[in-house]
Amino acid sequence: MFSTVNLFSEKEGEIEKFLKLYFNENISIQNKLYWQKEYSNPINMIEMLSAFADNSEKFELAFWISLDNNIFININDFTVNDIIIYLLERYPK
């Protein structure tokens, strides 16, 4: 099973702006209001979680992750650090 990052926005272009900042390149996506990335190793999503937390005030985005089938966790300024710690504990290297 893959873990996923899901980005949602009600404002067209917000997801592309965030992804451009994160990947440091121009990004064009089909669905302007939703984006998903799958990770075979959930530890690899920590970098994106951190980038979102550091820049959350710049974007109108909803950031969700799924580690288990049909269970979604909202990421925000209040939860991001606990989620990162949880990922490191649940998926040790």
Over the chain, what HEC string results? CCEEEEEECCCCCHHHHHHHHHHCCCCCCCCCCEEEEEECCHHHHHHHHHHHHHHHHHCCCEEEEEEECCEEEEECCCCHHHHHHHHHHHCCC
Q: What is the pTM of this model?
A: 0.91
The reported pLDDT for the residue numbered 73 is: 96
pLDDT band at 35 (very low <50, low <70, confident <90, very high): very high
pLDDT band at 93 (very low <50, low <70, confident <90, very high): confident
